[in-house]
Structure 1
Amino acid sequence: MNFGAPWDSLKKSIPQVPDALLHILKSRFSFTNMTPVQECAIPLLCQHKDIAAQAETGSGKTFAYLVPIIVSLIEKIPRLLDVEDESLNESDPRSGYIHALIVAPTQVLAQQIYDVLIQIISRHYVLLLIGGTDAPIDQASGSLLDRPLVVATPGRLRYYLADGLVSLKDLEILIIDEADQVIVSKDFPYIRAKLPSQRRTGLFSATFDSVTEADLALLMRNPHVVKLYNAAKEQDMYIVPQNLVMWYKVVPYEQKLYMLLRHINALRSQHKADSPKKLIVFFMTCSMSQYMSFAFTHIFELLPDQQVGIYCFNGKQSQETKIKNYNSFLADTRFAVLFTTDISARGLDISDISHVLQFDPPKLIATYTHRAGRTARCYRSGDAGIFLGLEEIGIVSLLRTRGVPLRELTSEQDAQLFDVCTTDMPGCEFTNLITSPPASPDRSALTAEEFSTLQASIKELTQKTKKLTRALATNQQRASLAAESADSTTTAVQKMQSVIHTTIELPLNEARKRLSILLEQEKNYLEQKNYMYDHNLTKFLRQVQSEKREVFESCQRALETWLSGYNENEAKLIFNVEKLPLGEFAVSLGLLKLPNHNILRRKHINFKSVDIDVSKIVYSNPKREESRQVQLDISTRKKEAREQMRQERELSRHKEGSNEITEAIRTSLTQHALSHGNRVPAQFSGEARLLSLLKGGKITEDEFDEMIDDLALSGGKMSKNPAKIRKWRR
């Protein structure tokens, strides 16, 4: 595809560009013409100018700074482009100092830049500094082997700078990729202090939201700012590729996982060997991406011939696991899906990515365009979508005001991206999971909080009905006896019956009618509530969790971290976790029980746990399960020992009369409160404080008794035991 001027035209403005480099770009990378950012940035950097280049994702920014670096190095190292020259070794002379430094925010991006470089120049002249890898160290000098070109992440670079293994005093070119992320990182101020004042600097990113003019002034002198916008979008804050289709789909939370399954299945059915498709799915947290990879691996194992490859890539994995999964995803010729987090939102350049889906919204609004930019690379076409809950639709207007052309799916697009294809798997169990969506609850029905109020009203009316029924029976019996009495007149009996009818029968009938209505509402709510648990996909996921402990624990962590992450979203007014149907979402994930999270504790959650002992769920790995059983046994014995010690202390306190002291103090405090209000006498101030802590749940009954003992024995003075002092001061 022709984008701009041919690469050969560089010879006119930059005569020192070697023909061998242009030949490599054409033969190895199939480049014939430069992209706009390359056409603007390469001449400026080669002319020793500082630049800040902002261009859309996938626009060729990497080669915009690699070419000037190679041009400047080739004059010093003639053998630089001898990629396949095996005669080079670690003892060969190189430049003797770091000539150029490329800083990237993530290991993935740094590794990717390094992989591109070693296709152009010999690997003996490039040094990669990222976490999880060991850099070569010269045993004689104790410093890193001299490499003229270094690619590094901020954290790793700072580590080597602090240890004196790397020196930047002779640095000539500094390149910062995804500059808006690197500059605000905690390690960059330290790195900036080590930079020489005389150098060329290039900043490259798709967004510069977090980069201020002060940041530019600290890094560059009279920078040339290069901003490349689409012709029709000169006022956009965010720059998006022209060939990228960006859409959103409103999906109720109880259907999100099901709709993701339909999306993957629809793309799988369209996959062809001669036109490969790959999908990246972004999640908010590492744990959620890990659980989803477990879940979808088990789901697609139901398909014949393993037609879908599921891979997970997140920051919690070891470097070895990340590299293995990433390379497997690239090499898979089937329809492959990568479940990942924002670790892949920047710089990940895979040509086969045809679709991107954001299952969860990003924490930062600017990250949306970076996620979407993993497809439509180098002016190819691409498709990027996001699932939004009914409560999150406000983000669409916000993104549009920032220049993101986000549109709701048309019916035609919806059919293409979410059509249920089961023709190639008749009778397969997978068909049962995908043919019908989970029923959505009636949004006009009661919320969990309203249902709780309803139950309280039912309880109150039930008690009132019983009380009125007893009163009616008693008073009717009295009226009957009065009617039989010779002393009672007809008028008196009628008056008594009228009073009974007015004060008891009418309120009782009204209470019964109201109770009947509320009981009907309760019945409807419970019937509506149970719809979630009957879907085949939910049953399947719960069955998997009940058989494999690693999946069960992964699902628990997934919801916990997701709740915390969602609560930290930049757009809190739109993404408010308190408004979400958390119970329905938890059921759709297949949770067996709710995790212990403060958000779940303070809300009424529409969720029914599975009636099984989750401690009996075993790991599929025998060694891991054996280790768990050993830990369980140790924990059980410790618990029994603690209980035995507690009983012995309690028995000892009974013998010493401690309980009588405690009860006397409590009685005295109660009597004083009745006669003097809330004022506590000075001699009981310590005991009152302890009693307050006990009632507030800050200390246990045993701790209360123990501290009362200390007060009694010390004459009301606080114990010198540090542990007890900490308890006192809580």
Structure 2
Amino acid sequence: MLLVGGTDPAQDVAAFKARGGHVMVGTPGRIEDVLKRCAAVDLRRLEVLVLDEADRLLDMGFKAQLDAVMARLPKQRRTGLFSATQTEAVQELARAGLRNPVRVNVAVAVQQQQQPAKEKGNEKAAAAAAGKEKRKEKEEGKEGKEQQQQQQQAEAAAAAGAEVEAAAAAEAAAGGSQKTPNSLSIQYVLCEPDEKIPQLVRFLRLHGPSRKVIVYAMTCAGVDHLAAVLPRLPQLATSGVRLRALHGRMKQAAREATLEAFRALPAGVLLCTDLAARGLDIPDVHWIVQLDPPQDPAAFVHRVGRTARMGRSGSALVYLAKAEEPYVEFLRLRKVPLTEGSPLPPTEGQQAAATAVADDDAAPSTSGRDAVANGAAGGGKKKAGKAAPAAATATAAAAGGGSGGGPGGAVLSAAVSTATAEVLAALRGAAERDRDVMEKATKAFVTYVRGYKEHHCKFIFRLQDLHIGRLATGLGLLRLPKMPDLKKPLGASEFRPSPVDPSTVPYRDKAREKQRQKGLQQKQHEAARSGAAASAEERAAAKRKAAAAVAAEAAEARLPAAKRRQLQMKDETAALNQEYSLLKKLKKGKISQHQYNVATGLSDDSDLEGEEPEGSAKPAGAAAAGPAGRAEVRGSDSDGDDGADSSGSDDEGEGKAGGKGSAAGAGGKPGAGGRRGKGGKSGPGTKGGKGGPLGVKQHRGALQSYIDKKARKKKRQNAKKAQRQQQ
């Protein structure tokens, strides 16, 4: 009986009650649910518990479900844990209910290297047997059935321990052992991020029409992007490649339908994530292509394990960037050997075009071109497995020893560059014509960067080494998205944005485009309404501000003269204290003479430091007289009711600050920096000009505070009066 998600648990319970079952196969969550709902399951008759993919099931994600299931199972049972990457934590094995565990390793090793290990294992087994005989001799004199049973259990445990040690010694001695079968060939190709999809396109053109291929991507968004853009590329449109997509964001029914459709195909391509890395047994899978290495290194073995099953042969290929090449040695240490392969050559038509260009430029020999054509033709006739990389290597060798050796190598390099540029142009063109492709490409970029940042092998897959410009170009992005993860992206300046505005790209689906246009119109109407409301609010605020200014002026006019003089005296005292503080700073050298003149209004910012204002002499009472000169201002007579003072000038008069009995404004320039004289009266001069006296109009802090205070008091009185009237 199969127990998995996606169906009603009540149906599973009813089916079990109707038919029963000798073997129950399912996921931990659904098995736990059915056991809770169905009391007819007789767990006392359970004999064997099998945990397939045990390293994954013993993770914390399944801890609650497995603990609940095992708590209801009988302890007298046999338990088997199976996985290609088995966990070695003793506490995890104890959680699975294993007592006296025996580890069985199935590995591929050379026969000559296994012989010393077998001898060591035999020696340990002989030593264990000798120890067993000695213990028996010691126990001969003892009687009792219980002691004999204990002795037998200890002997069994010792024998199991000897077997485990012998297996471990054999595995350590066999330096050539590996976790993958000999019928599986794993190769890697070094290429830049913008060359991965073009390489994949050439690979699918070669193997997709006649072989079953599984292509793994890192994220669900990456699978969606490949499934959307690959059928629209002209390089694959006429090749007859059938594509299917499978990832974790699909519903269970869609997953099952996709898997069954791929199984039924005689040849095709399955684009998937690590969701399809475990538990799938699809017959006749010839190639495993890993466009992106998995986040978890353990998933690498499970990915390539989808081919070369049950004695069959298979091939696997992984694309790595140059900065990721240490990953190969890392896998070798984990007993997963890889061999380096060559990038696939372009098609015959692309080679012919590159050859024609080379004929016009350098006129290479015909023998080199014939070797290239023959190598490409021979590579297409060979069988799957090691044939394609071997053909690529032979082609490169025939072309002149690689991309840089001889005329043939130059032709092949030009052909590869041309083919890559054509695919990249087609990727960007698809994004410029269809908004769905553009959005999926952007999402694939974002999720790939985040997944790369969370890679388990951070010492190899470092985000600062990822070439962002090439990655965005390889996905066909129109613009680089802004991401907080990318503070200083590598190669971002090399990315060339598209001239097409992303906001103008329509959906290919007319219904989606109609809905998008409707949403844009709604946003525009909302923005217009909010803008009108904002402008109306600004106008209302300006009106309130103007009304407040008018009210302040009216309130100032209604004040009595004595009150105005009192408030004016407060402002002048504050200004005097400020100027005195500036004078002390000038004496101590904290500020320059120019800064002091600017702060006190004796000079302008545009004047050079140390230069006197034009048309006025340096006032004697400003810097020389000091505080004593300012004391005269305190005693000055200010009879004007409007509270406005005018400044006298030193240009005309006796040349002193504060001429004797001179009236302010008697021929002086407004704002020229003059001071009111001793005993002088304020006349109808300029109100608070630049450099003039600090009067009410310039320093009206105390007056404004008084007016605001009166206004608040009046407002509170009106509010209380209104409240009393309501009561």
TM-score by structure 1 length?
0.53
Alignment of 1:221-232 (within 5 A): 221-232=99-110
Task: Determine the C-alpha separation between the residues in 1 that align with 2:190 and 2:36.
Answer: 50
Code of the residue aligned with 1:537 in structure 2: it is V
Code of the residue aligned with 2:55 in structure 1: it is D
Of residues 180-189 and 573-582 in structure 1, the stretch that sits farther from structure 2 once superposed is: 180-189
Partner of 1:386: 318
Instruction: Establish whether residue 640 from structure 1 lines up as the match of residue 640 from structure 2.
Output: no
Alignment of 1:130-529 (within 5 A): 130-137=4-11, 146-160=20-34, 169-170=43-44, 171-195=46-70, 196-198=73-75, 199-209=77-87, 211-218=88-95, 219-232=97-110, 234-235=171-172, 239-268=179-208, 271=210, 277-299=211-233, 303-304=237-238, 306-333=239-266, 335-409=267-341, 414=342, 418-422=344-348
Change (3 A) 1:612 1:179: same
Q: 2:507 aligns with which of 616, 619, 623?
A: 619
Partner of 1:114: none
> How big is each residue's C-alpha offset from its partner over 1:221-256, in whole Å with a ceiling of 9 and x where there is no partner?
223322112233833796111211111111122211
Secondary structure, aligned partner of 1:186: helix
CA contact 1:266–1:418 (8 Å) conserved in 2:
no
Cα drift, residue 395 of structure 1: 0.9
> How big is each residue's C-alpha offset from its partner over 1:188-209, in whole Å with a ceiling of 9 and x where there is no partner?
3333233224233221111114
> How big is each residue's C-alpha offset from its partner over 1:157-192, in whole Å with a ceiling of 9 and x where there is no partner?
445556678968444432111110011042333332
Q: 2:423 aligns with which of 525, 537, 542?
A: 537
Task: Determine the C-alpha separation between the residues in 2 that align with 1:638 and 1:251.
Answer: 49
CA contact 2:288–2:315 (8 Å) conserved in 1:
yes
CA contact 2:107–2:179 (8 Å) conserved in 1:
yes
Change (3 A) 1:201 1:656: farther
Task: Determine the C-alpha separation between the residues in 1 that align with 2:207 and 2:74.
Answer: 52
Code of the residue aligned with 2:102 in structure 1: it is H
Task: Determine the C-alpha separation between the residues in 1 that align with 2:483 and 2:59.
Answer: 31
Cα drift, residue 554 of structure 1: 0.9
Task: Determine the C-alpha separation between the residues in 1 that align with 2:54 and 2:425.
Answer: 46
Cα drift, residue 418 of structure 1: 1.8
Cα drift, residue 391 of structure 1: 0.9
Secondary structure, aligned partner of 2:286: strand
Code of the residue aligned with 1:245 in structure 2: it is S
Secondary structure, aligned partner of 2:302: helix
Task: Determine the C-alpha separation between the residues in 2 that align with 1:532 and 1:642.
Answer: 52
> How big is each residue's C-alpha offset from its partner over 1:74-127, in whole Å with a ceiling of 9 and x where there is no partner?
xxxxxxxxxxxxxxxxxxxxxxxxxxxxxxxxxxxxxxxxxxxxxxxxxxxx1x
CA contact 1:248–1:388 (8 Å) conserved in 2:
yes
> How big is each residue's C-alpha offset from its partner over 1:613-657, in whole Å with a ceiling of 9 and x where there is no partner?
323322222222222233333333333333334334444444444
Change (3 A) 1:646 1:308: same
Change (3 A) 1:221 1:619: same
Secondary structure, aligned partner of 2:496: coil
Secondary structure, aligned partner of 1:225: coil
> How big is each residue's C-alpha offset from its partner over 1:493-546, in whole Å with a ceiling of 9 and x where there is no partner?
xxxxxxxxxxxxxxxxxxxxxxxxxxxxxxxxxxxxxx9999222221121112
CA contact 2:281–2:306 (8 Å) conserved in 1:
yes
Code of the residue aligned with 1:312 in structure 2: it is A
Secondary structure, aligned partner of 2:458: coil
Cα drift, residue 129 of structure 1: 2.6
CA contact 1:653–1:659 (8 Å) conserved in 2:
no
Secondary structure, aligned partner of 2:425: helix
Cα drift, residue 568 of structure 1: 0.5
Aligned residues: 427
CA contact 1:154–1:188 (8 Å) conserved in 2:
no
Cα drift, residue 574 of structure 1: 0.8
Code of the residue aligned with 2:335 in structure 1: it is G
Code of the residue aligned with 1:156 in structure 2: it is R
CA contact 1:360–1:386 (8 Å) conserved in 2:
yes
Change (3 A) 1:137 1:259: closer
Task: Determine the C-alpha separation between the residues in 1 that align with 2:513 and 2:545.
Answer: 48
> How big is each residue's C-alpha offset from its partner over 1:244-282, in whole Å with a ceiling of 9 and x where there is no partner?
11111111222111111122223247x3xxxxx211111
Secondary structure, aligned partner of 1:137: helix
Code of the residue aligned with 1:314 in structure 2: it is H
Task: Determine the C-alpha separation between the residues in 2 that align with 1:562 and 1:158.
Answer: 35
> How big is each residue's C-alpha offset from its partner over 1:317-350, in whole Å with a ceiling of 9 and x where there is no partner?
22232222222222223x4111111111112212
CA contact 2:212–2:287 (8 Å) conserved in 1:
yes
CA contact 1:263–1:419 (8 Å) conserved in 2:
no
Change (3 A) 1:161 1:262: same
Change (3 A) 1:301 1:391: closer
CA contact 2:246–2:258 (8 Å) conserved in 1:
yes
Secondary structure, aligned partner of 1:641: helix
Q: What is the alpha-carbon root mean square deviation over aligned residues? A: 3.9
> How big is each residue's C-alpha offset from its partner over 1:29-62, in whole Å with a ceiling of 9 and x where there is no partner?
xxxxxxxxxxxxxxxxxxxxxxxxxxxxxxxxxx
Q: 2:516 aligns with which of 621, 628, 641?
A: 628
Code of the residue aligned with 2:435 in structure 1: it is R
Cα drift, residue 311 of structure 1: 1.4
CA contact 2:108–2:178 (8 Å) conserved in 1:
no
Secondary structure, aligned partner of 1:386: strand
Task: Determine the C-alpha separation between the residues in 1 that align with 2:103 and 2:241.
Answer: 44
Flag the structure with larger Rg: 2
Secondary structure, aligned partner of 1:262: helix
CA contact 1:130–1:153 (8 Å) conserved in 2:
yes
Alignment of 1:591-610 (within 5 A): 591-600=477-486, 602-603=488-489, 605-606=492-493, 607-610=495-498
Code of the residue aligned with 1:263 in structure 2: it is F
Code of the residue aligned with 1:315 in structure 2: it is G
Task: Determine the C-alpha separation between the residues in 2 that align with 1:610 and 1:146.
Answer: 63
CA contact 2:431–2:438 (8 Å) conserved in 1:
yes
Change (3 A) 1:634 1:246: same
CA contact 2:290–2:319 (8 Å) conserved in 1:
yes
Unaligned runs of 5+ in 1: 1-125, 272-276, 437-530, 662-670, 678-711, 716-730
Partner of 2:449: 563
Change (3 A) 1:152 1:658: farther
CA contact 2:434–2:505 (8 Å) conserved in 1:
yes
